[in-house]
Amino acid sequence: MDRDTGTAAIPASPAPSPSAVVPASPPASAPAVAPAATGGATTDTVVDVQAQQLSITVSRRDSGTQAPAMAAPATSSSAQIPALLKSLEAAVARDDAAAIEAGLALLRSQLPGDSLTLLRTEAWVAHTRGELVAAEESYRQILARIANDEQAGVNLALLEAGRGEAEAAQTRLRRLAAENGNSALIRRALAQLQGASQ
């Protein structure tokens, strides 16, 4: 469980550009276009993972204290998190670099450094802006903490497929499918990757 406070709805991703890989999520999934290497030639592989609305409930606790049975009422800073995420989503949709950086800085000031909400948001922003190395690093950090995380796993598979590593991406998705049961998101991503590689 994350140590943040509040309930935050994860916003939908903006529409992708034809040459960019857009994260399936977090915050939410969206169509992605990823260049795939085939021998010496480059072709476009379209991966269309449908958007989902995800709601995350988190609570803050002091280190050293046990988690309460029920979350405490939201504080003024925890009530700001959903508004910050919404503002950041709007800045990303406008491709407003200054507002994105300001929004991330404000979010970092409100959440602990090890916050999953912060990590997921940073991964989504990096992925959406085409900062694929940073996005991949964030997805790997999420997976190091939550090995079967569906969203981070699908997004990492999208990045792998975009680099032409279709087999690695499919292997990751098959493993996630086994761990996450009957996930429609994983099934769609796997079917699309398998169809694109044929």
Burial profile 62-89: b = 16 or more Cβ within 10 angstroms, e = fewer? eeeeeeeeebeebeeebebbbebbebbb
Single pTM value for the model: 0.62
Domain range for 183:
6-66+77-197
Would residue 71 count as lying in a domain? no
pLDDT at 73: 41
What is the average pLDDT value for the chain, to the nearest integer? 72
Q: What is the mean pLDDT of residues 73-82?
A: 68
Would residue 181 count as lying in a domain? yes
- Greater pLDDT, 7 or 152: 152
pLDDT category of residue 194 using cuts at 50, 70 and 90: confident
For 125, residues 6+ apart whose C-beta sits below 8 A from its C-beta are: 88, 92, 100, 104
Would residue 72 count as lying in a domain? no
pLDDT exceeds 80 at position 134: yes
Q: How far apart are the first and last CA of the chain?
A: 40
Would residue 58 count as lying in a domain? yes
pLDDT exceeds 90 at position 150: yes
Per-residue pLDDT of 165-177, as tens digits, reads: 999 999 999 999 9
pLDDT exceeds 90 at position 60: no
Position of tokens 């049961």?
A: 181
Domain count of the fold of the chain: 1
Q: What is the CATH number of the domain that holds 186?
A: 1.25.40.10
